[in-house]
Amino acid sequence: MNRVYNFSAGPAQLPEPVLKKASEEMLNYRESGMSVMEMSHRSKVFEKIMEETETLVRDLLGVPEDYAVLFLQGGASLQFSMVPMNLMKKPGRALYVETGSWSQKAAEEAEKYGTVEILASSKDKNFSYIPEIPAVTANADYVHITTNNTIYGTRITHIPETGSVPLVADMSSNIMSERIDTGNFALIYAGAQKNLGPAGVTLVIMKKNLIGAIPAAVPVMLRYGIHIEHNSLYNTPPCYSIYMVKLVLEWVKDLGGLGAMEDINKKKAGILYDYLDNSRIFKGTVRRQDRSLMNVPFVLPTDEQNTQFLKKAEAAGFVNLKGHRSVGGMRASIYNAMPVEGVQKLVDFMKAFEKGAADV
Ligand SMILES: Cc1ncc(COP(=O)(O)O)c(C=O)c1O
């Protein structure tokens, strides 16, 4: 069977050259005589992998000197807990922008550690837009945003003004997809399995001086300070996933870095949105100015048509297009690894489907 066009929201398609390189290096990584899966995380050769991966993150995202780059476990979901555990003072107070289920989960977790206020929300219209985020004047330990909402297909384009209040961002589904000014954020976190590599590692980029005194009862593995002190090697890290992140970031760098990546992503999303705007039967579900470059939800007039389309698409090699149950219909996740050609072919297929359904 040929490789399919995989529109999964995550774990997602990886760049083919990366998979090929990984397979070439599978049995014997750089004359070490072993696979990266088999080497000690304390070995020189693995230390070099860590160093190279961190340097790539720093170079691609322009990470300021006074920030730490961490490779942790537990997914973005563990960051929902670690952020309030480490950043909330006693008594704690944080402001959350509610733009979808992931931000709700993050806020719910924070409520266990202090007061959570919703700074802005788009819940009233099933999260189909990004709400206006007011300037932060109040005193708070941090403000939390989700820059790209994987399920609903929205994206924050105007980073809120938070003054001296640290800004924390869940970038799980749009990290490395476009240029950002990393210095505007006090802490960024992202699960790897969309744009960075396979599942199992979570990237955290944080201002080192952000962590204050946290209670001794907080488990050692959940303390940012410990991971900063040990350069993400307090315990055995997810070695192979980190190595894969390195290969993915080398691929991004070779393409020309985040500027080039952003251009490609805008081109891909443009092809799909232009078609959705002109189709008689397919419709996008998100307010135009808030559309994600990474996750594109769309619907047909009836559930029956959605089901029929998904079935035909799968048979034609376009897989994992089923939308999340809270939106319905379809969702095309077009992360960095999805080639322009994959989106073009999907649109050609949608056009053919529309023609066949001309009588609807
Ligand atoms: C924006 C966002 N945040 C958090 C998560 C949860 O990530 P994880 O499964 O790595 O805990 C996801 C998963 O899809 C996500 O899309």
In a domain, 339, yes or no: yes
pLDDT greater than 80 at residue 325? yes
Give the domain CATH number at 308: 3.90.1150.10
Q: Are 320 and 232 in a shared domain?
A: no
Q: Mutation test of ligand 1: which of 99, 155, 173, 320 has the most ligand atoms closer than 8 Å to its C-beta? A: 173
Classify residue 87: in a domain, yes or no.
Answer: yes
pLDDT, tens only, 12-26:
999 999 999 999 999
The residue among 254, 276, 292 that closes a domain is 254
Q: 234 and 262 share a domain?
A: no
Do 72 and 220 belong together in one domain?
yes
Whether 237 and 278 map to the same domain: the answer is no
Atom 15, ligand 1: residue with shortest CA distance: 172
* Count of structural domains within the chain: 2
Q: Which atom of ligand 1 is nearest to the CA of 148?
A: 1
Judge whether 9 lies within some domain: no
Domain end among 221, 254, 287: 254
Shared-domain flag, residues 215 and 312: no
**Do 282 and 329 share a domain, yes or no?**
yes
Which mutation among 99, 101, 172, 201 tests ligand 1's pocket best, with the greatest number of atoms within 8 A of CB? 172
pTM over 0.85: yes
| Mean pLDDT score across all residues of the chain | 96
Q: Are residues 186 and 302 in the same domain?
A: no
Residue 360 clears pLDDT 60, i.e. is over it: no
Same domain, 266 and 223: no
- Residue 5 located in a structural domain: no
Provide the residue range defining the domain that includes 131.
Answer: 16-254
Q: Is 337 exposed, middle or buried (0-12, 13-18, 19+ CB in 10 A)?
A: buried
Q: Which of 71, 102, 148, 193 to mutate for ligand 1's pocket (most ligand atoms within 8 Å of CB)?
A: 102
Kindly list the protein residues whose Cβ atom lies closer than 6 A to any atom of ligand 1: 10, 75-77, 102, 146, 150, 170, 172-173, 191
187-191 β-sheet, strand order: 67-72, 202-207, 187-191, 167-170, 142-146, 93-98, 115-121
Radius of gyration of the chain from Cα atoms? Answer: 21
The protein residue whose alpha carbon is closest to atom 2 in ligand 1 is 172
Q: How far is the CA of 52 from the centre of ligand 1 (A)?
A: 25
CA distance 349 to 355: 10
358 band by pLDDT with thresholds 50, 70 and 90: low
pLDDT number for residue 216: 87
Q: Which residues are catalytic?
A: 102, 170, 194
| Residue owning tokens 């359904």 | 357
Asked whether the predicted pLDDT for residue 53 surpasses 50, the reply is yes
H helices within the chain, ranges in order? 16-24, 44-61, 75-87, 101-110, 224-229, 239-255, 257-278, 303-315, 340-356
* Contact by Cβ (8 Å): 343, 349: no
- Asked whether residue 264 falls in the same domain as residue 236, the answer is no
122-144 pLDDT, tens digit each: 999 999 999 999 999 878 999 99
* CATH code of the domain containing 85: 3.40.640.10
Statement to judge: residues 297 and 225 lie in one domain:
no
Last residue of a domain, one of 216, 232, 254: 254
In terms of domains, do 46 and 96 share one?
yes
Q: Is 78 helix (H, G, I), strand (E, B) or coil?
A: helix
Does 6 fall in a domain?
A: no
267 and 140 inside one domain = no
pLDDT at 212 over 90: no
Answer yes or no: is 2 within a domain. Answer: no
Tell me, in angstroms, the distance from the centre of ligand 1 to residue 76's CA: 5
Q: How confident is the model at residue 263, as a pLDDT?
A: 98
Is residue 8, in this structure, part of any structural domain at all? no
In a domain, 7, yes or no: no
Distance 12 CA to ligand 1 centre (A): 12
CB 235 within 8 A of CB 214: no
